[in-house]
Each structure stands twice: as C-alpha cells, then as structure tokens.
Amino acid sequence: MNKDRMMRGVGAALKWVFLLTLIAFTLYPVIYALLGSLKSNYELTLGGHLFPEVWKFENYMDAFTRGRFGLYTFNSLMVAGLVSLLSLVTSSMAGYVFARRQFRGKGFIMSLYMAFMFISLGSVTIYPLFVLFSRMKLTKTIIAMALVMTGGQASNVFLVTGFIKSVPKELDEAAFIDGCTPFQVFIIMILPMIRSILAVVLLFSFRSAWNDYITPLIMTIGNAKLRTLTVAVVQLKYSSNAAAEWQIMLAGASIALIPVLILYIFTHKQFISGLLSGAVKA
C-alpha cells in the first residue's frame, strides 16, 4: 500500500516535471522576445538576466518611428482583415453549396478542391500570380496580396461543409419548400446555425494571414510601403544596423506577436475546438 502510494507520488512528480519542462520550453522564446524587447542592445548581447535591468520602452518608439512599424501594423491589420472577410464570405457560401445542394459538376469540383489540398508546388505558384497582378496594376495595393493569401480556402470550405452536414436538414428544407431561394435559405436559416464554425474560420484565416511570410515577402518586394509586420520584422535581420540593434528586432517581433497573443488569450478555446472539430472530421 505504502509502496503503491510512493509509486503514484513519483509518477505524479515525473508528470509535472515533464509538463513544466515542456511549458518552459514553449514559453521561453516568447518571454525572451517580449522581455528582450525592453532591454538595451548591450544588455541583450551580454545576456544572463531574464528581466531587463533598465526597462527601455523607447525601443518601441524607435521601432514605430525609425522602423515605420506603425505603417506595417496597419498593413498587417488590413491584409488580415480583408483575408478574413473574403474567406468568411466565400467559404461559407461554398461550404453550404457543397453540403446541401445537388448539381452537375459538384463531384468533380469537390475532388478538384480535395486534390489541390494535397498538391503543392511551393512558392512557384506565387510568381505567375505576382506577374499577373502586377500587369493588372494591383501589386501597388494590398488587394493582390490579400487575394493570393485568401486563395481557394479548400480547408475552410470543407470545415464549413462538414459542420453544415452535421446540422439537421429538416429546417432549411422546410424553408426551401416555402419558396425561399437557396441564398435566402443560406442567410436566414444556415448562417445563424453555423456561427460557431464561422468564428473558427475567421480566427484561422486571420491567424494565417497575419502570420504569412512568404506571400507578402514576394508580393511586396518592389513596394516596401506595403510590407506586412512579419516581412518587416524579418527584413530587420538584413537591415543596416541589424547586428547592432537586437532590441529593435525583438521590439518588432513583439509588435507582431502581441496582437495574436491577446486574441489568443480570449479565443484559445475556439482555436482548439476548431482544430478538434476539423481533426475529427478528417
């Protein structure tokens, strides 16, 4: 009995050592970035202390004034906002059509969507789009970037499709018989029922647009003014004073991280449950 209890105690201790190590491993880089952004460059390269000796909030001022981070934050917000909006509207309607409507070509289109989820030519695909949008004079605005990031939304479409399929058909079919058009049915009956999955689509597409690096990097290569936060932050690595200004790099990184971290604190349940529902469907 005693031995048993001791074993259990050791087990629990091991479990907590494991979990706490993992938590430390997960949080350390983030904390390093957040606290490091408040240190002087000298203190940063000297290393050793977790908390700043002198709290240098002016690093952020520097990032915003010299590094034009205000502009980049604005760009990121715009792009992520536009992408979320576009994905929300287009993928919810497509998801509804796939889940409820029968029409010629549906099977083909769905398998095409499915196939393109698994085929990846990597960053090759951005180049023809860049050239195309550049001819259309759209690369001078963030619209081209947002369109490329929105893309086909295959995974979001299937997320919505799966969710609608799990909702009982009777309600919207009844509305249909009453003479509503499919679009009316979608607006009146379906949308209110699928709000929770739309929140997930919104969060996922906001996150992916906010965090995307390769697409904005290529799409803004000739227009530094359109850079998003991620691109601007990583470009600091190549900037004139990169080697001497780690604090600015970390301030930039923190500016890119803090908004999603705050969003995450309030919505982590949706993030995880969204992923769970996606995973279960898969």
Partner 1 sequence: MKNHKMLSALLAALMLISACLFTVPAMAEDVTEITVWTKDRHDQDLLLSIVDQFNKENPDIHINYEQYTDNYPQVIEIASSAGELPDIFCINNTPMITQAYQRGQLAALDSLITDEDKARFDASLFIEGINMFDGQIYSLPNTGLTLRLVYNQDIFERVGLSGPPKSIDEMVADAKLITEQLGGEGVYGFALPLANPQSGFQRGFNQFPLIDGYPVFEGFDYRQGKYDFTVYKPYVLALADIWNSGAAFPGCESLNIDPLRTQFAAGKIGMYMTYSHSEWGVYMDQFPTDQRWQYAQIPSTSGEIVGSQSLSAGYWYVINSATKDLEKTWRVYSAIYSQENLIKYYEAGYGVSVVPSVIAAATAPSAIAAVPYMGIQPTDKIWPVAPQNVVPEGDNWGARFAEVVFGYNNDIDGIIADLNERYQAAYLQSIEDGFNTQIQYPNLAANDLTNTMN
Partner 2 sequence: MVFTIQSKNKAVGMTLAHRKARRRDTARSYAMLAPNLILFLLISVYPVIWALQYMFYRYDGMSAKKFIGLGNFVRVFTRDPQFWQAVLNTFKYAGLKIVFMLPLAFVTALLINNTKRRYAAIQAVIFSPTIMSSAVMALVFYLLFNVYSGEINKLLINIGWIVKPINWLGREMAMTTVLIVAIWGGLGNYMVYFLAGLQQISPEMYESADLDGASALTKMFRITIPLLGPVLKVILMLSLINAFQDMTSIMVLTGGGPFNSTNVMYLYIYNQYYPSSEASSFLPQYGYGAAVSVVAAAIVGVITIAYIQISKKLDDVY
The residues in 170-209 that bind partner 2, with binding defined as CB under 8 A, are 181-183, 186, 207
Return the number of the residue (81 or 182) whose C-beta is nearest partner 1. 81
Q: Is 23 helix (H, G, I), strand (E, B) or coil?
A: helix
Selected binder of partner 1 within 171, 188, 221, 272 (CB under 8 A): 221
Q: Are 228 and 76 in contact (CB under 8 A)?
A: yes
Widest CA span of the chain, in angstroms?
A: 78
165 contact choice in partner 2, partner 1, none (CB below 5 to 8 Å, kind-dependent): none
Among 187, 193, 199, 260, binds partner 1 (CB under 8 A): 199
User: Which of the listed partners (partner 1, partner 2, none) does 118 bind, with a CB threshold of 5 to 8 Å by partner kind?
Assistant: partner 2
**Which 49-108 residues touch partner 1, going by CB under 8 A?**
77-78, 81-82, 84-85, 88
Q: Site residues for partner 1, window 105-144 (CB under 8 A)? A: 130-131, 134-135, 139, 142
CB of 129 to partner 2, least distance (A): 6
Site for partner 1 contains 13 (CB under 8 A): no
Of 22, 46, 242, 276, the residue at the interface with partner 1 (CB under 8 A) is: 242
Give me the helices (H) in 51-125, please: 58-65, 69-100, 106-118
Among residues 167 and 235, whose Cβ is nearest to partner 2? Answer: 235
Asked whether position 128 contacts partner 2 by CB under 8 A, the answer is yes
Return the residue of 63, 79, 86, 189 that touches partner 2, per CB under 8 A.
86
* Residues whose CB is less than 8 angstroms from the CB of residue 255 and which lie 6 or more positions away in sequence, other chains included: 60, 63, 69, 73, 229, 233
Residues 126 and 132: their CA atoms lie apart, in Å, by 10
Of partner 2, partner 1, none, which one does residue 77 interact with (CB within 5 to 8 Å by kind)?
Answer: partner 1
Nearest residue (CB) to partner 1, 129 versus 157:
129
Compute the least distance from the CB of residue 113 to partner 2, in Å: 7
User: In the numeric block, which tokens belong to residue 250?
Assistant: 């970390």
Cβ atoms of residues 69 and 255 within 8 Å:
yes
The count of residues interacting with partner 2 (CB under 8 A) is: 95
Rounded Cα distance between 171 and 194, Å, is 13
Instruction: Show the tokens assigned to 138.
Output: 């759209």
Query: What's the length of the chain?
Result: 282
Binder of residue 190, out of partner 1, partner 2, none (CB less than 5 to 8 A by kind): none
Note the Cα 249 to chain centre separation in Å.
Answer: 21
Rounded to a whole number of angstroms, the minimum distance from the CB of residue 225 to partner 2 is 19
Question: Which sign does the torsion angle of CA 106, 112, 116, 117 carry?
Answer: positive
- The answer to whether the CB of 19 falls within 8 A of the CB of 225 is no
Tokens encoding 168: 């009982």
Phi/psi for 74 (5° steps) reads -60, -50
Question: What is the binding site for partner 1 (CB under 8 A)?
Answer: 77-78, 81-82, 84-85, 88, 130-131, 134-135, 139, 142, 195-196, 198-199, 202, 218, 221-225, 238-244, 266-267, 270
